[in-house]
Amino acid sequence: MKILKWTCLLSFLLTATLLAEERPKIMVINSNASVERYSVAQEEFKKACEHPVLEVNLEGKEWKLRDIEDRLYDEYPDLIYCIGSKAYLVANKFVSERHIVFSSILNWQRLPVTKKTYGVANELPSEMQIMLFRHIFPGVEKIGVLYSNRYNKQWFRKTQEEAKEMGVEIIGQAVSSSKDTVPALEELLPKIDALWLISDPVIMSDKKTLLEVFKACDENKTPVFAYHEAFANYGAALIVSVDIPTIGRQAAGMATEVLSGEEMEDKVQFPAGSYMVMNLKKVKQYALDYNKNALASVNRIIE
């Protein structure tokens, strides 16, 4: 009887050990967990993830590259979820041979990627954004865009074609350096009904340029459509951004697929959810016509 008990116990321990060895090791590297959108993405990822998660926060620490390298090789996770560009660059530098899923990175196309790089883009599909712009402001037919050929030339051409099919004209002005942003905007303003700010590091390299852009639009009573809630503080009329909790859950879903060995057709996906902010105070100040029935679809209204 004792022999049977010991046999059962050993069998149980062996099975538990094998299961522990088979369980994939996942690490989350957060560029700065004190940033709310980063911490929300991390928490939602953990909730949705099927496996235990190791966590590394790069905020407020004098991380030496050697220390980070040692931590990554000591743990050597099967998959790393990187939140923000700092986290991604760290993981890619030392363990680019491992699976890496990223999110919360502007202009991810500028980053070095491998065959094992996956992610959730920080921008919503342009077609979806144009549809929302028109849904709320049906009178807007000409939308201006400042962009750089370096980062957004292909995006601009594709978006122009998509907008044309929806009865909207996208009028663009290519900018080669930040110092040319305001002159380019002044040339663009007489031709457009609204300005669409997109994520482009050449256009907005500093706060001074950002303030000048909003000042010029305000003086011309041209509404600004933007991609991040922070622009509401500068006077953006409408903001269509990604839904952060959904991004964390989406990244967890991608991680599960990658670890299960499934082939992913789109290795970098558009965000699955959106969040809208409407500055009704600014809309009324400019005497803009808007679809009052559309307000029900807006997540936050500033009055």
List all residues 6 or more positions away from 86 whose beta carbon is below 8 Å from its beta carbon: 31, 32, 58
Please give the structure tokens belonging to residue 266: 């789109």
Residue 85, pLDDT score:
93
DSSP state of 60: T
Q: Which pTM value belongs to this model?
A: 0.77
Whether 24 has a pLDDT exceeding 80, the answer reads yes
Q: What mean pLDDT is predicted for residues 178-206?
A: 92
Q: Are strands 53-57 and 79-83 parallel, antiparallel or unpaired?
A: unpaired
Question: Is the separation of the CB atoms in 224 and 237 below 8 Å?
Answer: yes
Tell me the C-alpha distance between 9 and 223, whole Å: 71
pLDDT above 70 coverage of the chain, percent: 91
- Could you report the per-residue pLDDT of 61-118, keeping only the tens digit for each? 656 777 888 999 999 999 999 999 999 999 999 999 999 999 999 778 888 999 999 9
Does the structural domain 24-122+245-269 have CATH classification 3.40.720.10?
no
Q: What mean pLDDT is predicted for residues 259-284?
A: 91
Question: What are the residue ranges of CATH 3.40.50.2300 in the chain?
Answer: 24-122+245-269, 126-242+274-302
List all residues 6 or more positions away from 258 whose beta carbon is below 8 Å from its beta carbon: 79, 99, 101, 118, 264
Q: Which fold has domain 126-242+274-302?
A: Rossmann fold (3.40.50)
Average pLDDT of the chain is 89
Q: What angle is formed at CA 23 by the lines to CA 21 and CA 26, rounded to 5 degrees?
A: 120
- Could you report the per-residue pLDDT of 145-166, keeping only the tens digit for each? 999 998 889 999 999 999 999 9
